[in-house]
Amino acid sequence: MSLLSIVIPAYNEERMVPKAAEAIGKVLEKENICYEIIFVNDGSKDNTWAQIEKISQIEKNIIGVHFSRNFGKESAIFAGLANANGDCCVVMDCDLQHPPETLIDMYRLWEKGYEIVEGIKKSRGKESVIHKASAGMFYKIMSKAVKIDMSRASDYKLMDRKAVNALLNMPEKNAFFRALSSWVGFKGTTVEFDVQERTDGESKWSTWSLVKYAITNIVSFSTAPMQFVTVAGVFVFVMGIVLGIQSLCKYFSGHAVEGFTTVILLILLIGSIIMMSLGIIGYYISKIYEEVKGRPRYLISKKVGRKENTIEE
Ligand code: UDP
Ligand code: MG
């Protein structure tokens, strides 16, 4: 019988961990699906790890992975996938905003031979107007970069073992899971789900962390911002030629001193474009530097559950 692994990153989710395990268990046991849950404690500051340890002692099919500090959701997803034993893996949020009932649809589609089943948001749940607008802009840029429509994409998705292994074999550290799992290809389909409201705890994303997240992910998938530097350069060059000819004409016809405004404007314009361009290039270089250092995506300090019993550790 095939095994379904459910990977759940958890950061300060002490109250949601048992609730999530229970809700998932209820749904899957009813359908007789053989499953395991991998909770990845992403350096929580509360009792999340104690909760994971506790339920892993009661339920034999719960695995816990404990990070040495907070490494972020993307790293937690990869750690969960690396510790999963299933023939297929689903990644879902700990806060039950991804309804467990959708797991059944995903699993059935996988049985029919689909290798990637993406959860698509039917509605985005409750969000502020500004959040919606900026998320919309981010996804427009990402969709262009990945060349796949991502406006309703989520991290809730099922992947076949083949796709999981492909992801795990990628050397890059700045991985954007949501887009990479589309990038690998394979035979895919989608299921729709309604984003639920968080019942406990709070969202971990501040506006600033979302902006950083957006920039990192755009940079990891697209070099278009660097092309902006070239375009801006060409634009300034053309302007320079036009103004150059104009001032030469003025010089030879004898009214040269005027036009100080033009000089100031030009200095300001060119200066700002150069600085912006350097900033963009610098950002890419810093990302290259991070990759070159080759540090691990995460460090695990402890593990509990199934693997501990079966595999040497
Ligand atoms: N999460 C994580 N590490 C972090 C931030 C979040 O593992 O640094 C997890 C969190 O526990 C949850 C999921 O990522 O399971 C989604 O987080 P959240 O619900 O805060 O995001 P939102 O639903 O508001 O986008
Ligand atoms: Mg959430």
186 and 208 co-located in one domain: yes
What band does 66 get if pLDDT is binned at 50, 70 and 90? very high
If pLDDT is split at 50, 70 and 90, which confidence band does 312 have? Answer: very low
Evaluate whether residue 243 is within a structural domain. Answer: yes
Q: Is the pLDDT of residue 86 over 90?
A: no
Domain residues for the domain of 277 are 224-293
pTM (two decimals): 0.75
Q: What are phi and psi of 10, to 5 degrees?
A: -135, 125
One domain for residues 165 and 270: no
The reply to whether 267 and 127 lie within a common domain is: no
pLDDT for the residue numbered 8: 94
- How many residues does this entry show for the chain? 313
- 65 has which bridge partners? 40, 303
- Please tell me the distance between residue 262's alpha carbon and the centre of ligand 1 in angstroms: 51
Model confidence band, residue 10 (pLDDT cutoffs 50, 70, 90): very high
CATH number of the domain bearing residue 148 = 3.90.550.10
Number of Cβ within 10 Å of residue 309's Cβ equals: 9
86 lines ligand 1 (CB under 6 A): no
Instruction: Give residue 92's pLDDT band: very low, low, confident or very high (50, 70, 90).
Output: very high
228: in domain: yes
141, 34: one domain: yes
Q: H helices of 92-128, where?
A: 101-111
How many structural domains comprise the chain? 2
Beta strands in the chain (DSSP E): 3-10, 34-41, 62-67, 88-91, 116-123, 153-160, 188-194, 300-304
Both 22 and 137 in one domain: the answer is yes
pLDDT tens digits, 30-47: 888 889 999 999 988 888
Q: Please say whether the beta carbons of 217 and 229 come within 8 A.
A: no
Q: Which of 95, 128, 211 to mutate to test the pocket of ligand 1 (most atoms within 8 A of CB)?
A: 95
Atom of ligand 1 nearest to the CA of 10: 11
pLDDT over threshold 60, residue 186: yes
Q: What percent of the chain has pLDDT over 90?
A: 11
Question: What's at 298, amino acid-wise?
Answer: Y
304 belongs to a structural domain: no
Q: Number of helices (H) and strands (E) in the chain: give both, helices first.
A: 11, 8
Cα 92 to averaged position of ligand 2 atoms, centre (Å): 10
Same domain flag for 59 and 202: yes
Whether residues 270 and 289 fall in one domain:
yes
Smallest CA separation from ligand 1 atom 22, residue: 203
Is residue 128 a part of any domain in this protein? yes
